[in-house]
Amino acid sequence: MTTFPPKYDPKIHDQYPGQTVAEKDLNRIYANLKKAKERGILLTIGSDSFNSQMTPYGETAVGELHAFVECAGISEMDTIVAATLNGAKVLKVDDITGSIEAGKSADILVIDGNPLKNIRDLTVANMAVIMKEGDFVKNNIPCLLKAIAS
């Protein structure tokens, strides 16, 4: 795989930590993401995943959720809202999806863990239930109930 690192600009890159230009640039992006949140700019999650080995569907978006919290310092709740309601708002479909409300269409994840306390609980492996457009894609409710009971 060929990558193209950003062109080094000392006036920009030397303001940010990192050993390489790519690391410095990534830290610049995280700092700008945090500034955008602080200034009230609506943030969303988007992975550009094409379901390939390079960008496995689900895992790429989950990695972005982790980076919002761990690298950009955005709260777990604000990160989850960015992945749900804010995406619907940006697409102007928040009247029909993006939050769990009567009359709205919702895809639902049941997580084995609490991503509000630890965003790392939100992983593809911890998705006990995945419901898309009213149909179960994954249903581990029986296993989850057993774990809760024991």
19-46 confidence digits (pLDDT tens)? 999 899 999 999 999 999 999 999 999 8
Contact 110, 127 (CB under 8 A): yes
Give the tens place of pLDDT for each residue, 48-98: 656 566 656 667 888 899 999 999 999 999 999 999 999 999 999 999 999
pTM: 0.82
Any idea which of 20-24, 67-71, 108-112, 140-144 has the lowest mean pLDDT?
140-144
Contacts with 122 (C-beta within 8 Å, 6 or more apart), sequence order: 62, 65, 66, 80, 111, 113, 115
Q: Considering only 6-20, 88-102, 104-118, 129-143, which range has the smallest mean pLDDT?
A: 129-143
